[in-house]
Amino acid sequence: MLIKEKTTNAALHEADKRFYLPTFNRLPLAFRKGKGARLWDVEGREYLDALAGIAVCNLGHCHPKVVKAVQEQAERLMHISNFFVSEPQVMLSRKLVEISGLDRVFFSNSGAESVEGAIKIARKYAYTNGRGGGIISMENSFHGRTLATIATGKERMQRGFGPMPPGFHKVPFNDIEAVRAAVSEDIAAIILEPVQGEGGINVAKPCYLRALRELCDRENIVLIFDEIQCGVARTGEYFAKDHYEVQPDIMTLAKGLGNGLPVGAILSNEKVSGAIEFGDHGTTFGGNPMACAAGLATINAIQEEGILRKTTRKGFWLKEMLEEKIGRHPGLKQIRGLGLMIGVEFDFETKPLVLKMLEHGVLANATAGNVLRLVPPLVISFEELERLVDVIALSLNELDQ
């Protein structure tokens, strides 16, 4: 029996609280449609989106090329399982290999699944070379919410879900000496985000990533880059690694890859891929024709529309405008990031700022407590970026008073 609810934000919010597992502390907003960098709720109010579904809708909401590809694929074929070859999967695999410089692709449904698969590949490679299965991750990292991925991350996300899987070790981010001290024959892999997202938009130092690559080469340890949030053009390059000219052994993707459709990927070089045998890993839905059609359309649109160059320009411009409009605010600590992955750090909690911006029709996000995270669609216009900065400045002023 269908339950008919009044189409208001409040009514849908109450229904959501009644039926859905209470794991999201949602804002009382229900969106009905989106276009580009704009969203409309069920009551018809328009919003400027500087969150993009948490760095997912990199080409904006309902990009026409992605919509067309998904519609056409849905009419043709939606699922066949991985017992058979899928044309969209082959085409997206080839495209990802071409733009990444890595050799092999495995598709999953999400970022956490991609990281889980990356850990399995790394451990299998280590096993074949007589090493242990330990994983070194970074403090303030975020790699997902499965048991293995929370074992790599913050302790507060582990509370109540123990015992944690063994073999995970955390060290400070951007501290190469701490990594060297943690390395032993028991370590299979080092995993990190070149730009930490949930941790507060913390950017890796170039010398740090180069030193990690040298360390992993010397010790035969697998280097894993988690580019789930910072990949797929978000930083102005296809992948954040390209800013550093450092190639990992394994790279994980998701979020922006399908521009809204769930699709994740594990990319790996031939060296570590060679450790995998038939039956070592699998998925039912991963890499299905629908998801791969969306991914292929997304990458093609990024190339055809010059999104990398435009994102770089917009990112520089946004940081300059933020410096100009709020640079003298007494609570501002730092503006940082790459491309359109920007963190604005204050000396106070930023959730009230996010709520105040929402009153003015702008969506953003507070992360790491005191960081305002700005990850708008990469197709956002300069006029929309200017409105974003104006609303941040206005909201700060209203909070100060």
Q: Which of 41, 49, 226, 249 is catalytic?
A: 226
* Spatial distance between the Cα atoms of 41 and 287, rounded to a whole number of angstroms: 31
Q: Is 142 a catalytic residue?
A: yes
Instruction: Locate 205 and state its tokens.
Output: 């130092």
Strand, coil or helix: 327: coil
Q: Which of 255, 310, 314, 356 is catalytic?
A: 255
- Distance between CA atoms of 302 and 309, rounded to whole angstroms? 10
DSSP reduced 3-state for 213 = helix
State the angle between helix axes of 307-326 and 289-304 in degrees (0 to 180), rounded to the nearest 10: 70
| 269-289: b (≥16 Cβ within 10 Å) or e | beebbebbeeeebebebbbbb
DSSP β-ladder status, 168-171 and 134-138 = parallel
Measured CA angle at 188 (ends 184, 193), to 5 deg:
105
Chain centroid offset of residue 352 CA: 24
Place of tokens 């130092």: 205
Question: How far is residue 268 CA from its own chain's centroid?
Answer: 18
Q: Can 255 be counted among the known catalytic residues?
A: yes
Quote the CA–CA distance of 197 and 235 in Å, as a whole number: 12
Fill in the amino acid letter for 234.
R
Looking at residue 305, the DSSP 8-state letter turns out to be T
Active-site choice (142, 173, 225, 346) = 142
Q: Give catalytic residues, as residue numbers.
A: 142, 226, 255
